[in-house]
Amino acid sequence: MREALEQRHVRAGAPHLLFEFALFVFKQGWACLFGALMLGALLLTHFWWPAGAPIARYDALTLWALAVQGTLLATRLETWREASVILIFHLVGTAMELFKTAHGSWTYPEPSLLRIGGVPLFSGFMYASVGSYIARVWRGFDFRFVGYPRRRWSVLLAAAIYANFFTHHWLPDVRVLLFALISLLYWRTRVMFRTLDRYRAMPLLLGWLLVSLFIWLAENIGTFANAWRYPAQAGGWHLVPIGKLGAWYLLMYISFVLVSLVSPPRAPTCIPARLGGGSRTN
């Protein structure tokens, strides 16, 4: 369906721009499919899960996530390469969840059997939905990169960011330095994406910020649905502070680098003169 829409001929001018924008929204929604289905399940079970159900709500969410994953693979709406990214995210996210919940950063207030320690297994799929989105949007928009830094530096920085999520509980929090390093490394990088018949470009740093904002909004839906709670929400639900956006930005960076390991960044065949630069991925 996506391929058929891309090949549709639309006359130039306003109709072409409107169709391109509509296709952009459709592709973004398609890339968000896994995450959207998870958020929908969180809300649905929050409002309508029966008290006497034979299994706990959290366990049902885990089984739902497995069913969605299996269906996407069976119908080839998701590739095995993308599934491998989701598995990596599940492992990385679960490890962080075990550590953070042990230190009281947030809690899962409802009972479940399918859990490790205080972490229900569905939580790993919430991280995996971020990886699924990046992998699918990368493929759907045929990403190309101008001025992409060397892979070794991007991987080392991602490892440092991941480590800081743990070490800041005992050592100084160096996230300000990490933000500065991200900016220094990627200030020239442009991501080129194709919605219809031409490539458009935007700063990669801006793209990460926009996606992080949507993750923050999704997090508010998750906490509203009582999927997890922060200590400040113990007395009742309220919006997650906007300052949490910084943590999601750092997580977005880690997510992007992980996807780049299975989908190496490619340079465009023709770089517009106004963009300049090049792509170095060694």
Over the stretch 83-111, which tens digit does the pLDDT of each residue have? 887 788 888 889 999 999 999 999 999 99
* Distance separating alpha carbons of residues 18 and 10, to the nearest angstrom: 10
Q: Note the pLDDT of residue 12.
A: 59
Token pair belonging to 204:
């990669």
Is residue 3 domain-resident? no
Is residue 7 domain-resident? no
Asked if residues 88 and 131 have their Cβ atoms less than 8 Å apart, the reply is: yes
Q: Note the pLDDT of residue 8.
A: 53
Domain span including residue 203: 33-262
Q: Note the pLDDT of residue 226.
A: 93
Is residue 18 domain-resident? no
Residue 1: pLDDT over 60: no
User: What are phi and psi for residue 203, nearest 5 degrees?
Assistant: -60, 135
Q: What is the pLDDT of residues 241-262, one digit of tens each?
A: 998 999 999 999 999 999 998 8
DSSP conformational letter for 78:
S
Is residue 220 domain-resident? yes
Is residue 268 domain-resident? no
* Distance separating alpha carbons of residues 172 and 156, to the nearest angstrom: 19
Between helix 204-224 and helix 33-48 the angle, nearest 10°, is 20
Number of domains in the chain: 1
Cα→Cα distances 21→35, 201, 266, Å = 22, 15, 24
Cα→Cα distances 136→71, 187, 203, 239, Å = 16, 24, 19, 29
Q: What is the pLDDT of residues 217-236, one digit of tens each?
A: 999 999 999 999 999 898 88
Coil vs helix vs strand at 62: helix
Give the confidence band of 59 by pLDDT, cuts at 50, 70, 90.
very high
* Distance separating alpha carbons of residues 274 and 217, to the nearest angstrom: 34
- DSSP H helix total and E strand total for the chain: 10, 5
Is residue 251 domain-resident? yes
Mean pLDDT over the full length of the chain: 88
Token pair belonging to 35:
């995450």
Give the confidence band of 278 by pLDDT, cuts at 50, 70, 90.
very low
Is residue 252 domain-resident? yes
pTM, full prediction: 0.86
Cα→Cα distances 206→10, 12, 53, 148, 201, Å = 29, 29, 45, 14, 11
Is residue 117 domain-resident? yes
